[in-house]
Amino acid sequence: MSEQFEPVIIGFTCNWCSYRAADMAGTARIKYPPNVRLVRLMCSGRLDPTFVLKALSNGADGVLITGCHPGECHYLEQNYKALRRYHLLRRTLIGFGIEPERVKLVWASAAEGVQLAKQIAGFVDEIRALGPLAWSMPSKQQLVAEPSVMEEVPA
């Protein structure tokens, strides 16, 4: 193979820990693959499953969800909610014929820039190995309708 597949990954990061960890990785000049586009949320609990489905349906090959370590969420319980959403999402994706490994949950504190960069690199490798998201529907027709708004719901 001459050209290596470069997956597109959307990463939803918590403002208080993992986004800072990613930031720290940047300031410390720790390299991680540019495949991940980070979207900052105030907390992993803000992660509506709609965001993940929307990312995948719009062309992402994988979605990374990051949050504070269990017990360290700045909004107390919300990362446990993210944890349960993550488990539900993976099970639902299986029903759609999509590999559940395309969604990954990582806990990272603000100090863990190095670890987060490693996790990101590992995830990019995993998705690269999986290949592009192959929709299990061998349809010739591209459907047109697509809701353009992202749902606004309280976390």
Partner 1 sequence: MSHNGSKPTEKPKFAMYWASSCGGCEIAVLNIGPKILDVDAAFDVVFWPVAMDAKYKDVEAMDDGSILLTLFNGGIRNDENERLANLLRRKSQILVAFGSCAIEGCIPGLANFSSQDQIFDAVYASVSTDNAGGIRPKTHTTVPEGILHIPEFYPVLKTLDQVVDVDYYMPGCPPESHQIATVIDLVLAVLEGKAELPPKGAVIGAGDSTCCDECPRQRNVKKITKFVRIHEMDAIDPDLCLLEQGILCNGMATRSGCGALCPQHNAPCIGCYGPAEGVVDYGARIMSALASVIDSRDPDEIERILDGIPDPAGSFYRFNLAHSLLRTGKVG
7, 78, 120, 124: residue in contact with ligand FES (rule CB under 6 A): 78
- The smaller minimum CB distance to ligand FES, of residues 70 and 97, is found at 70
According to the binding rule CB under 6 A, does residue 118 interact with ligand FES?
A: no
From residue 128, alpha-carbon distances to 12, 61, 125 in Å are 19, 9, 5
According to the binding rule CB under 6 A, does residue 12 interact with ligand FES?
A: no
| Token representation of residue 24 | 């720290």
- The smaller minimum CB distance to ligand FES, of residues 84 and 131, is found at 84
Cα–Cα nearest to 76, from 41, 43, 51: 43
19 binds, among ligand FES, partner 1, none (CB under 5 to 8 A by kind): none
